[in-house]
Structure 1
Amino acid sequence: MRMVLVGCSGFVGRSLVTLLLNRGHQLTLVSRSAQPLPALQHPQLTRLQANPADPSSWSQPALLEALAAAEAVVNLAGEPIAEKRWTPAHLQLLQDSRIGTTRALVQAMAALPAGQGPGVLINGSAIGYYGTSASQSFTEASPAGADVLGRLCQAWEAEAQAAAGRCRVVILRIGIVLGGDGGALGKMLPVFRLGFGGPIGDGQQWMSWISRHDLCQLIAQALEDPAYAGTYNAVAPEPCSMAQFAAALGRCLGRPSLLPVPGPLLQLLLGDGAKVVLEGQRVLPERLQQQGFAFRDGQLSAALAAATS
């Protein structure tokens, strides 16, 4: 298939691009950076520099031509949620990078002549859609939360759903992605390997996670299989508490995992952004299990072993 990939040059995108190329797809990678994935050279990969949140970017001849010829689009664009304080400027960036990018992309697709353009859009979202809870379990049928992330994800998904009249739309509410060279786990590994690791906060908050391998396989499968449509929780079937996660990581590395990271310290560093790691939600992949998706890393021990090997 010919595909346009947006926001796919980071932690998840690096693995996704390699997987899709290995499956024989032809990719156009749209990124703000002039040289995303500099180490990867492939005759089936084209790079275009643009600001995908700017509607005028989609009128560039090369990008417009790629979108018109594409059979599929993957949009994972979005600034990291929990790495900076939620100042008004950063909150605006979080919105623009998700809502603005998706809106501009869908509008560009809608402006294409009939018979041109992608037949499927895979769009990212996040389990922050549900808000946080220490006791509830959430499936795809659960309502959106009323907090900042719940409202952000709801608006983000609405922009993607606007393409439903033109193509098949798949929205993935992605949990904490586990990989050894990035994301939350990548930041925790050096501390744990030194023997100073432990749970963040009180350790009782839920962590709903998915291995990067399984997430990339899910995206590839959703692109190729027309049975995938609508919204899916992109999480493994065994959510855990932060304390359980820290203990499992310590066992995997053969290191102690007893020193907690105080919540007030994170709040001092990240402000409202600390909410993402100090609070959580128990999210279940009900629709993926009904559809028979095969998780390679369905158990936390297997996911951690694969990520740290």
Structure 2
Amino acid sequence: MIKVLNRWSAGALVAAGLTFLAAGAQAQMPPRLQNVPPPQLQDTQGTATLYLSAVFSGETKPIGDGLVWRIYADAPNGEDFQLMVKSEEASPAITLPKGDYRIHAAYGFASATRRVSLIRDTVERLTISAGGLRIRGAVGSQPIPPDKLTFSVFVPIGNNDEGRLVVEKARSGSVVLLPEGTYHVVSNYGDSNALMRADLKVESGKLTDATLNHRAATVTLKLVRTAGGEAFAGTAFSVLTPGGDVIREEIGAFPSFVLAEGEYVVIARHEGQVYTREFTVESGQDRDIEVVAR
């Protein structure tokens, strides 16, 4: 299920549990910089104030939260830019010596850059093409608890859906800010093989809210002397596909984890003995898998 919400504010995103990430993939990167402290402003006649704000593409209302502003002194070709000011205010007013500067506004992974010649008080409004992406999970009609699901976001390159990783293991229900575009999302229920994939579009100024339906269940492994008996402690379990690929290995009396729907083989090793059993995982049907030691 995918919903695109046409109206959302940065303040609302904060209340929803924003995931802010450093400006990066697919966005304009801040110029190279040196950690140079801002100059001491003494001559007020040689300064001017820069009034900054940013809007989403196609919108007129300024972005109210989530912006990170950086102002760099312009530099000749080949030289490093000097960071003069950094601000996390939505619409800062910054006084600087008159001169040439580069303005960089970051909003999550999206950003915009502009060069300005500051010779008098100046108003600058940057346009950022960014939207929000929020992923949740479910098994049938049952929501997956947020602490059991993560998602990663990729930018497709050519025929490779996972061409470039943009966001890794974001928490279910959090909002990730991204440049406008189409992304490949991989949702992971648990930490084994219960994966779901989807291609989702992020639109500027909108929140794409998607629920990915997983076909998986939680299994608990036990090595017992008789059916329904007490589990042996210290048992080494290996879960394999029918073809022999190892999916999970655990040691304990009754390890529990999520597996995708399908056929499996479990191998239990205890005190030099090896026991096996085939079993089936059905979506939404959590169950104990007992291996009888005989």
Q: Same fold (TM over 0.5)?
A: no
Higher relative contact order (CA 8 A, sep 6+): 1
Larger radius of gyration between Structure 1 and Structure 2: 2
- TM value normalised by structure 2: 0.25
- TM value normalised by structure 1: 0.24
The structure where strand makes up a greater share of residues is 2
